[in-house]
Amino acid sequence: AKIQYDATFAKLQPKLDDKSLEMPSGGKDFGRSALAAPSDAKAKMAALLKDKYGDQAPEGVVAPDDEAAVAATEAVAEAKRTLPYVVGARATYQGVRDLMQGRLGATTWDDPAALAASIAQLVGDLKGKDWPVTDKTSINTGRRDVGTRMLSPIAQVTRANAASVLKGDPELVKLTG
């Protein structure tokens, strides 16, 4: 979760620095922003709406996954506020359904075939007693660098490209058309 949070803030920080993006929620600290479980997102969003936004809603929400994204939109809808642009991750059934219905703005897709190929390569490397080829500095846990093999690219999924990006998943692609 911390790695995902840091990657998100790496993209947002320049906008915060040049003041083209504001964060009234104060959610710039991982400890204050993290969710114990995606299901906590609804209560957290309801509290933010009450405490930080008055009768308004945020213009955008970046959620750690589709479950949290959907929960955040439910809280906004229940508070009868304008739905923000919400981005989830991991292209779940509910997330893609809400994306196609206009409640989510985007999600992400990790191609399971590419992941399976990467895992097979890793297992083959280990079976042959070769240490897997990794990027030795791509992930830092705060205590040490951890060698990784990143799956790339993770695709952004929007209503416009959902059918083509999700074509490898027969259940999700049904939601797109």
pLDDT tens track for 138-176: 677 778 777 676 666 689 999 999 999 999 899 999 999
- 130 vs 25: which has the higher pLDDT: 25
Per-residue tokens: 61: 């929400």
pLDDT in tens, 27-77: 777 877 777 777 799 999 999 999 999 899 999 999 989 999 999 999 999
User: Amino acid letter at 145?
Assistant: D
CB atoms within 10 A of CB 54: 10
